[in-house]
Structure 1
Amino acid sequence: MSIDQRPTAPAGAVTHDDDEFTPVDHGRRQIRIETARIATLIPVRSIVVCLALTVVIIAAGLASMTIGAYEVDFGSVVRAIVDPSSDPDIRQVVFEWRLPRVLFAVLCGAALALAGGIFQSLTRNPLGSPDIIGFGIGAQFGVTLMMVVLELNTYMFKAVGALIGGLITALLVYVLANKNTMSSFRLIIVGIGVSAGLGSLTSWILISVSVEKAMMAATWGAGSLASLGFDQLIPASIVFAIVTLLSLPLGRTLPVLEMGDDAATALGISPGRTRLTAMVFGVALVALVTAAAGPISFIALAAPQISQRLTRSNTPMGTVPVMLTGAALVVVSDAVAQLVAVPVGVVTVSVGGLYLAWLLAAQYARRT
């Protein structure tokens, strides 16, 4: 392992003994890792960003565990975590009540950020997040049907409803937007239209059921990490780990697909199969979060763009930095939400709405 400033291949490029790549000078310090079968480059800046985000996650998570009806100071939280012989009441509060919420915030943020990176790379557009193109609304619609129509309110049934709703929405958007070739602009516009239609159907369902069911669905629809424990965290973590591992190859194929279908095909990548696989994995990540915590909006939109700017990457599909960025955003947002006594979804919508307005203004300014 060494630090290299010579002309190198793009970060994350993988070569084998019988493969060669054309060197590209990025002007960045990179750590070269080589084995007998694989060689890869990791930008030093990405490592520094990941370490900084990890510190933010830990600090914000510890701080959030001091907030609640049972007052616990920062030092007591740290002692409860590192010292098994500390006050048993405080350890119960920290480990059984508050730690699962922080871990869920990390998981939800990482999953949403990775989904956002997948869809933004797929559409080659910073607006191509599941919040905008309707896949999040599809997952929400599926859970709403499970909760208020079929009256199946367990985590597993909500997860199934979110996955089916998201996949059907993705298939519908894909079919309507696919006209000979896939246009990112057409995909976003069709997604916005499908999202509006599903939002109207959801509203119609809520006004057609009893007040109690409508209030239950509305409370869940605000997006909250409260009352989530290890019973939901363990299966969600297993599914997240499986989907993340299966989606790792997309970190190499999607940036190539961003160069265009012809270039991807010339390099041995099937554009259609890659898009379909990416959409399935992205929807699965969104469904995972929606089933557990409800719709936590705009993390999938903002996290990949923030990560891309922090690491100065040329693609939003930087797996580890993107996931850490999303985790940091949700952990900090949840801490703020607890301070002002609102669901975390309210905080992310407020901040994300401002970010979306700035993003639209910036894109308009570049075109004029």
Structure 2
Amino acid sequence: MKSQRVLRAPGGLSFRLDVRALAVVVLLLLVALTGSVLLIGTGDFPIPAGDVLRTLVGGGKPGQEFIVTELRLPRVLVGLLVGASLGLGGALFQSVSRNPLGSPDVLGLNQGATAGALVVIVLFSGSATQVALGALAGGLVTGAAIHLLAWRQGVHGYRLVLVGIGVSAIMTAVNGFLLTKADMVDAARAVVWMTGSLNGRDWDQVRPLFALCAVLVPLVLGNARGLRMMEMGDDVSSALGVRVERVRLLLMVSAVLLTAGATAAAGPVGFVALTAPQLARRLSRSPGPSLVPSMVMGAALLIVADWASQRLFGADQLPVGVVTGVLGGAYLLWLLVTERRAGRI
């Protein structure tokens, strides 16, 4: 059975449908939605899945409606949006750099966003909104610095990764310095934020992140064809009519914004951007960047990780960033061993 089919539309138009990738996306959507319902029902006041669904469509009891719509639904929506943003951002970085290690975790974008948040927390004792804006600004500045330092008649994949590792080390040192200058209250607040968590997230985090995704996701998917061409090399893609540097810059800026926005909403949730694109590509067996599967995989990973942490350790006891960090770290070690055996590093 072929994994791809060509569909023809009236007027002579045709497009290629990857059946396996579509099946993977549908399956991951079901996992993400099922996990979301279970996560909404998990907590100090458990709610059966059937009651959660009835409440979501407006047929729940008043107490359940308050718990679901005001307390737990925003948290789940933030988890879905953060996971999708990190999955898509990681897929873009890995495709542009043509390197499975080219993710925000390795390139230092998370550390840069953390530095921006720590500046606001430690030096200005800012509010939650100001901390989010500081994280967004830190991510953007770090992304711009990495691009400028890696630029040399274009951005080469391994040079981008190496520069990112160096910037990551610098920003980690800056973050450590900021923590040593903080008082006990601000230091405790900073450490909690640096862990990466969905605890306490509400509609104030949902709306701006949803607006950011509503703008960037169609923009990225609209340039997916150019990104697929670029994976064959700059010369080949230029010969096929792709404006390589323009598309690369546009997609890198989009990836930085997605990563910084996700970090601003939930803190630096580790390794989702690294693992989601790789798992999505392995499941779909797609030769291209697998943008939509990566996005859905990121959402499913984060929701399942948060549900597992609550089921195993109780509500609000273990931040989701700890779970993704442990799982992602193990995956990174496996990826390094695999790449070394293949002779690519």
| Structure-1-length-normalised TM-score | 0.88
Q: Distance in 1 between matches of 2:59 and 2:225?
A: 47
Alpha carbons 2:6, 2:14 under 8 Å: kept: no
Q: How many Å apart are 1:271 and its aligned residue? A: 2.4
Q: How many Å apart are 1:28 and its aligned residue? A: 2.6
- Residue in 2 aligned with 1:278? 251
Q: Residue 89 in 1 paired to residue 63 in 2? A: yes
- Residue in 2 aligned with 1:255? 228
Q: How many Å apart are 1:33 and its aligned residue? A: 4.9
- Residue in 2 aligned with 1:43? 18
Larger Cα-atom Rg: 1
Higher helix share: 2
The aligned runs of 1:131-170 (5 Å cut-off) are 131-155=105-129, 157-170=130-143
Q: Distance in 2 between matches of 1:47 and 1:214?
A: 46
- Residue in 2 aligned with 1:314? 287
Please give the secondary structure, in 2, of the residue aligned with 1:179: coil
Gaps of 5+ in 1: 6-26
One-letter amino acid of the counterpart of residue 356, structure 1: L
- Residue in 2 aligned with 1:356? 332
| Residues 214-223 or 72-81, more deviating | 72-81
One-letter amino acid of the counterpart of residue 124, structure 1: R
Q: Distance in 2 between matches of 1:147 and 1:37?
A: 58
RMSD in angstroms over aligned alpha carbons? Answer: 1.8
Q: Distance in 2 between matches of 1:28 and 1:77?
A: 37
Aligned length: 340
- Residue in 2 aligned with 1:324? 296
One-letter amino acid of the counterpart of residue 79, structure 1: R
| Residues 54-63 or 107-116, more deviating | 54-63
- Residue in 1 aligned with 2:44? 69
Q: Distance in 2 between matches of 1:33 and 1:332?
A: 38
Q: Which of 61, 73, 77 is 1:99 aligned to?
A: 73
Q: Residue 289 in 1 paired to residue 293 in 2? A: no
Alpha carbons 1:159, 1:287 under 8 Å: kept: no
| Residues 69-78 or 88-97, more deviating | 69-78
Q: Distance in 2 between matches of 1:37 and 1:134?
A: 47
Q: Deviations over 1:237-280 (max 9, x none)?
A: 11111111222233111121111111122122232222221211
Q: Distance in 1 between matches of 2:96 and 2:70?
A: 39
Q: Deviations over 1:295-340 (max 9, x none)?
A: 011111011111111111012x222211111110011011012222
Q: Distance in 2 between matches of 1:63 and 1:69?
A: 13
Q: 1:265 to 1:85 in 2, by over 3 A?
A: closer
Please give the secondary structure, in 2, of the residue aligned with 1:32: strand
Q: Deviations over 1:29-74 (max 9, x none)?
A: 4251535485322211122111111111121111112221112233
Q: Share of identical aligned residues, percent?
A: 38
Alpha carbons 1:240, 1:288 under 8 Å: kept: no
Alpha carbons 1:251, 1:318 under 8 Å: kept: no
The aligned runs of 1:189-208 (5 Å cut-off) are 189-208=162-181
Q: Which of 264, 267, 280 is 2:237 aligned to?
A: 264
- Residue in 2 aligned with 1:338? 310
**RCO higher in structure (CA 8 A, sep ≥6):** 2
Q: Distance in 2 between matches of 1:31 and 1:270?
A: 27
Alpha carbons 2:4, 2:16 under 8 Å: kept: no
| Residues 169-178 or 105-114, more deviating | 169-178
| Residues 327-336 or 49-58, more deviating | 49-58
Q: Distance in 2 between matches of 1:331 and 1:62?
A: 10
